[in-house]
Amino acid sequence: MAKRKQEKAPETNLTTPLTDAGSAASPKRGRPRKADLAAEMGSPVTEAPVPEGIPTVEKPKRIRTKAIPVETTDLTPAPKVRAAKKAAGTTTIASSQTIVPQEKRAVYYDISRFTEFDVYLFKEGRHFTLYDKMGAHCMEHAGLKGTYFAVWAPNAEHVTVIGDFNHWNRDSHSLKVREDGSGIWEGFIPDLTGGELYKYHIKSNYNLYHVEKSDPFAFAREKPPQTASRICDLKYEWKDNEWMERRKTIAGQAQPMSVYEVHLGSWRRRPEDNNRPLTYHELAEELPQYVKEMGFTHVEFMPVMHHPFMGSWGYQVTGYFAAASVYGSPQELMHLIDVLHQHGIGVILDWVPSHFPSDEHGLAYFDGTHLYEHADPRKGYHPDWKSYIFNYGRNEVRSFLISNALFWLDKYHVDGLRVDAVASMLYLDYSRKEGEWIPNEHGGRENLEAISLIKDFNQAVHEKYPDVQTIAEESTAWPAVTGKVNDGGLGFDMKWMMGWMHDTLDYFSKDPIYRKHHQGEITFSIIYAFSERFMLPLSHDEVVHGKGSLIRKMPGDEWQQFANLRSLYSYMYAHPGTKLLFMGGELAQSTEWNHDSSLDWHLLQYNYHSGVQRMLQQLNKLYQQEPALYELSFDSSGFEWIDFQDAHNSVISFLRKGKDPKENIFIVCNFTPIVHEHYRLGVPHGGEWIQIFNSDDEQYGGSNVQNQGSLQATQEPSHGRDYSLTLKLPPLAVVYFKLKG
């Protein structure tokens, strides 16, 4: 995947202003001295020496201020701000019974959601529920309803809450910094009970720098291109108890996993309403039923965290705790997940801890220093994606990231997290030339701080939610990605099998007449198939930016293209590992994916396209019905070659094996358009075998070359086995057989 994320990021660099919308500045709201969003970008270059050829990261110029590059990690309270004095031992939320206000004030400082232990864990990088402490929380204090605010800005001189409730006044609602050196600013503002827009105005201790920032822990954001946070709660009455209990019951058991990858903004659109995307509520009415009918066990959503630029597909996140507002409210996203669960469908979210964009209202240069990002651009700037890299060695940042992962599992009942771009986190020299990266303390290229974070993330998830899956998008040969942390592994439950995807697509793109010279490409994956717990992906990355759709990768005339695509899917479901297919693949989408338009649902009126859809329905059904296809999917004992050496005919055959030998599935793949009328293959047992699936079936658009009735295995040795079958191999097809029960 080395360079693919460049496709997701807006075309920009850190010396060119980038707006939150990726193109044009947001309209102003009339608030006093609102920062011009056309200047939203990143942090200044540090004093660290930068090798020649590495882009310098400069801070934007601001009106009437002059910024000078500063690097600091000082977490002590700002010297120009006096910390609010607290009553002895007051570290918990005050109630109306304990505090009676003498007069109504703009901001109350005699309240905190933080205990001393909370602060200790935060500083240690071990606080994993920060979302219950930081941000804006509606509550009651001293008999008054209002909102408690807390934000981490250790290098700020002054922090105020600005919003529509105070006409964006920078002076009226100041927060106070805690006395414990945590760098947390807090305060309670009465009469804010939800729905109000707000930001933090931060004046730095350094160089007169000041900025308006969205709340890193906000639960909701304005619709882009506006950038303010919104006060809201996450109250929702879940109706998925049956699903959640079942999830606990089957945790750790072998189970089929067939994932439908979805970009919410382009699955379906409303052409009659200016071609807008569906809302979360509308998706809840259509998506769960469709996924259930197709037979997928899970959906995987490309990032639903708030992202201002739709062309980033969600991989440039500015609101890590906020659901993307373009589709609706947090509760409406919860409703979508709830309905999916009620239909028996699990939900996986893409999670992006690898980098974040340079938008000024976001995390970058948060308090006038490199707070969330690493200060040295050789570790803190991503050359491919023109974005910032988290400082994984900073404890407070570790608390932020792991809290964010657990937040989606806790508040949104998510069943799994697919971690994006893991390879870019593991290697210090990822996509960098010699001299453009800093070796670790041992002189190596491994990012020890990121590795430690990943392990802590996986341990925290599995300790709190043992019935949740974590999946790594990792494209290298890094060892033990799915190994247990205690055994030296990274701790993921599964890893995308990127090598299988690339080799298989490359093989299928070749004209069948040449495939005999490339037999090793289609068989090589089995050599390492059980070195990790693999998921086989045919993801969105393979159908964008000039790569074409899957059907257009297939060679030959129209009939051969569809036959090849059916063979590809049938081979994927037969291969060891769980499965993932990007939306539109089931339609044999003709054009490559475009995030600004709907899938081409009209193609289903044509038999070839609807045939592919029907075949995938059957494959999903078969996959879940036949234990041999999933019981030992991560164990070498679940696979056995019959013959992989018939390169001349481009035929491979193998067994998928379950715990019961009688349930074994015999799979034969013919990757040429030649029909073989009498093809003999060895089998492990005598008796009657029946064909249970054929990708060449006429209902799928095939030529309907079939093995009719029962096939008797004769005691004629072949391929090292005592019994053999004489089969009819259909053209460009995959056929499954099973012993007659």
- What amino acid occupies position 478? W
Query: Quick count: other Cβ atoms within 10 Å of Cβ 515?
Result: 19
DSSP 80: T
473 noted as active-site residue: yes
* Residue 381 token pair: 């700037």
Beta strand 534-538 with 578-582 is: parallel
HSE of 505, CA atoms in CB hemisphere, 13 A: 19
Measure the CA–CA gap between 734 and 564, rounded to whole angstroms: 10
Residue 417, SS3? strand
DSSP 591: S
Query: Quick count: other Cβ atoms within 10 Å of Cβ 282?
Result: 17
Q: In three state form, how does the secondary structure of 159-220 look? A: EEEEEHHHCCCCCCCECEECCCCCCEEEEEEECCCCCCEEEEEEEECCCCCEEEECCCCCCE
Q: Are 739 and 685 in contact (CB under 8 A)?
A: yes
Q: How many helices (H) and strands (E) does the chain have?
A: 14, 31
Nearest to 327 by CA among 259, 288, 269: 269
Q: Are 175 and 419 in contact (CB under 8 A)?
A: no
Of residues 222, 240, 376, 473, which has the active-site annotation? 473
Measure the CA–CA gap between 726 and 741, rounded to whole angstroms: 20
Q: Which residues of 102-131 are buried (b: 16+ CB within 10 A; e: fewer)?
A: eeeeebbbbbbbbeeebbebbbebebbbbb
DSSP 602: G
Nearest to 581 by CA among 163, 205, 296: 296
E strand or H helix at 426: helix 422-426
Of residues 20, 420, 542, 631, which has the active-site annotation? 420
Q: Are 320 and 303 in contact (CB under 8 A)?
A: no
- What amino acid occupies position 279? T
Q: Are 499 and 535 in contact (CB under 8 A)?
A: no
Question: Which of the residues are catalytic?
Answer: 420, 473
